[in-house]
Amino acid sequence: MPATAPKRIRTLIAPDKFKGSLTAGEVADALAAGLRSASSTGRSGTVHCELLPLADGGDGSVDAAVASGFSRRSYTVAGPTGQPVQASIAFDGVTAVVEVANTCGLGLLPGGTLEPLSASSRGFGEAVLFALSLKPARIVLALGGSASTDGGMGMLTALGYVFRDAEGRQLYGSGGALAQISSVQRTALPELADTELVVASDVHNPLLGTQGAPAVFGPQKGAGPQEIATLDKGLEHFVAKMTAAGFSDAARLAGHEGAGSAGGLGYACLLLGAKQVSGADYFLDLLGFDARKDSCDVVITGEGSLDEQTLGGKLPGGPDPVRSSPSPAARCCRRHGGPKWTSPASTRWPSTRTGTRPRTPNFPRPCSAGSERTSEPACCSRCSQAAEK
Domains of the chain: residue spans and CATH: 8-54+287-388 (3.40.50.10350), 61-280 (3.90.1510.10)
**DSSP string of 306-362, one letter each residue:** ESHHHHTT-GGGSSSBTTB-SS-EEEEEEEE--GGGS-TTTTTS-EEE--PPP-BTT
Amino acid at residue number 191:
E
Amino acid at residue number 107:
G
Other CB atoms within 10 Å distance of the CB of residue 255: 15
Q: What is residue 56's predicted lDDT score, i.e. its pLDDT?
A: 83
Per DSSP bridges, beta strands 84-91 and 71-78 are antiparallel
Q: What is residue 385's predicted lDDT score, i.e. its pLDDT?
A: 39
Helices 368-388 and 24-39 pack at an angle, to 10 degrees, of 60
Q: What is residue 366's predicted lDDT score, i.e. its pLDDT?
A: 35
Q: What is the mean pLDDT of each run of 10 residues along the chain (389 residues)?
A: 66 81 82 81 70 85 89 97 97 97 95 96 98 97 94 97 97 96 90 93 92 97 98 98 96 97 97 93 87 85 62 46 53 56 40 39 32 37 36
Q: What is residue 191's predicted lDDT score, i.e. its pLDDT?
A: 86
Q: What is residue 27's predicted lDDT score, i.e. its pLDDT?
A: 85
Q: What is residue 71's predicted lDDT score, i.e. its pLDDT?
A: 97
Sheet of 95-99: strand order equals 71-78, 84-91, 95-99, 138-143, 196-201, 275-278
